[in-house]
């Protein structure tokens, strides 16, 4: 585990209205807001992090909610086109009823690779699946008054990347990240790492004729893969440079250290470390309750708080 890619760290997507996004993910989906901060490149907009109690890597979905003036994105190639959460066996009836009662757009329960799943769209059109994994997911869920442990999401099950041609993306997964191709159905190729038990799956869907997606509201901005610490992050940086890719320097994201590179299928990949974690500026019981600003914006706090819309 120590010097490997340990599955997915987080997924970052783009949303419209911040309050609508907050209400959907905390109330309907029952996630914990583990960090409320700003976009470090644009401090007049929020950056929300949702996850389990402590924001364990592999459970973290983050959003830049840019407001309703953001145009809608379009799913297509060169994108992460699906986000999969794992849920307990027997919970899909609960979720189907919940989506129906709350006017969420959802599909009939279906099955792929022997696992049942329920697809739905968030209020901005982001496509998410709830999958019952073959092997029960032992991660401890965050519970709310409306979503208790027998139904609650456990964190990520998989992501799906859609590409015109998957070959070079597959090579990064297998040759650099340590994933193996384990199953294939028509044009969907399932890759898994055995470094971790959960958030370990990447599906590559090959769609040669399909047009490129547009990354805007309701689409995924990037996916981050997980490493144990920032020393291992830099070991992977060397491997990626040796493979001929351009990659950023190490970036301090306050809650983890990051590198970014564009994989040949067109998706922005990030590598992110477990250290230091979300407890660095709030206690675990207080996570997500305050507006946390990086040091460079603390002196502008009053102005930033005036601009950001209220969530309650």
Q: Which residues bind Zn ion (CB under 5 A)?
A: 12, 224, 270
Residue whose CB is less far from Zn ion, 189 or 255: 255
Give the shortest CB-38-to-Zn ion separation in angstroms.
14
Do residues 9 and 226 lie in contact, with contact meaning Cβ atoms separated by under 8 Å?
A: yes
Residue whose CB is less far from Zn ion, 54 or 107: 54
| Rounded CA separation 126/149 (Å) | 24
Longest CA–CA span in the chain (Å) reads: 55
Give the shortest CB-208-to-Zn ion separation in angstroms.
29
Give the shortest CB-224-to-Zn ion separation in angstroms.
4
Q: In what order do the strands lie in the sheet with 251-252?
A: 251-252, 256-262, 268-276, 220-227, 8-15, 60-65, 42-51, 32-39, 291-292
| Rounded CA separation 122/111 (Å) | 21
Residue whose CB is less far from Zn ion, 200 or 224: 224
Residue whose CB is less far from Zn ion, 179 or 256: 256
Q: Is the preceding peptide bond at 81 cis, omega within 30 degrees of 0? A: no
Residue whose CB is less far from Zn ion, 92 or 272: 272
First-to-last C-alpha distance (Å) of the chain: 41
Which structure tokens are listed for 239?
């491997």
Do residues 123 and 147 lie in contact, with contact meaning Cβ atoms separated by under 8 Å?
A: no
Residue whose CB is less far from Zn ion, 12 or 119: 12
Give the shortest CB-272-to-Zn ion separation in angstroms.
6
Residue whose CB is less far from Zn ion, 133 or 217: 217
Q: What is the DSSP string of 213-266?
A: PB-SBTSEEEEEEEESSHHHHHHHHHHHHHTT---PPPEE-SSEEEEEEE-TTS
| Rounded CA separation 288/35 (Å) | 4
Give the shortest CB-20-to-Zn ion separation in angstroms.
22
Question: What is the bridge-based pairing of β-strands 188-192 and 251-252?
Answer: unpaired
Give the shortest CB-258-to-Zn ion separation in angstroms.
6
Give the shortest CB-12-to-Zn ion separation in angstroms.
5
Give the shortest CB-182-to-Zn ion separation in angstroms.
26
Distance of CA 254 to the CA centre of its chain: 18
Residue whose CB is less far from Zn ion, 12 or 193: 12
Residue whose CB is less far from Zn ion, 40 or 113: 40
Give the shortest CB-222-to-Zn ion separation in angstroms.
6
Helical residues (DSSP H) of the chain, grouped into ranges: 18-23, 92-101, 167-171, 230-242, 301-307
């Amino acid at each position: 585990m120590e010097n490997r890619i340990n599955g997915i760290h987080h997924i970052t997507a783009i949303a419209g209205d911040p309050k609508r996004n907050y209400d959907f993910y905390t109330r309907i989906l029952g996630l914990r807001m583990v960090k409320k901060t700003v976009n470090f490149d644009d401090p007049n907009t929020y950056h929300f992090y949702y996850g389990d109690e402590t924001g364990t890597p592999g459970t973290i979905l983050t959003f830049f909610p840019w407001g309703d003036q953001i145009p809608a994105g379009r799913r297509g190639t060169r994108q992460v086109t699906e986000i999969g959460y794992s849920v307990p066996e027997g919970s899909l009836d609960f979720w189907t009823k919940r989506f129906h009662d709350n006017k969420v757009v959802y599909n009939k329960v279906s099955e792929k690779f022997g696992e049942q799943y329920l697809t739905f769209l968030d209020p901005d059109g982001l496509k998410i699946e709830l999958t019952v994994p073959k092997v029960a997911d032992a991660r401890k869920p965050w519970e709310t008054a409306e979503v208790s442990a027998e139904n609650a999401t456990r964190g990520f099950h998989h992501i799906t990347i859609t590409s015109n041609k998957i070959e070079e993306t597959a090579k990064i997964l297998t040759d650099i990240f340590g994933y193996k191709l384990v199953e294939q159905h028509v044009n969907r190729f399932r890759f898994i790492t055995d470094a971790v038990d959960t958030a370990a799956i990447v599906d590559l869907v090959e769609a040669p004729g399909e047009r490129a997606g547009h990354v805007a509201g309701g689409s995924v901005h990037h996916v981050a893969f997980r490493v144990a610490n920032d020393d291992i992050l830099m070991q992977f940086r060397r491997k990626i440079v040796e493979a001929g890719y351009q990659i950023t320097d190490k970036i301090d994201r306050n809650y983890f250290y990051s590198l970014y590179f564009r994989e040949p299928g067109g998706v922005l990949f990030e590598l992110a470390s477990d250290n230091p974690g979300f407890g660095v500026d709030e206690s675990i019981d207080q996570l997500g309750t305050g507006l946390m600003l990086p040091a460079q914006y603390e002196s502008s706090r009053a102005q930033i708080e005036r601009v950001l819309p209220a969530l309650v």
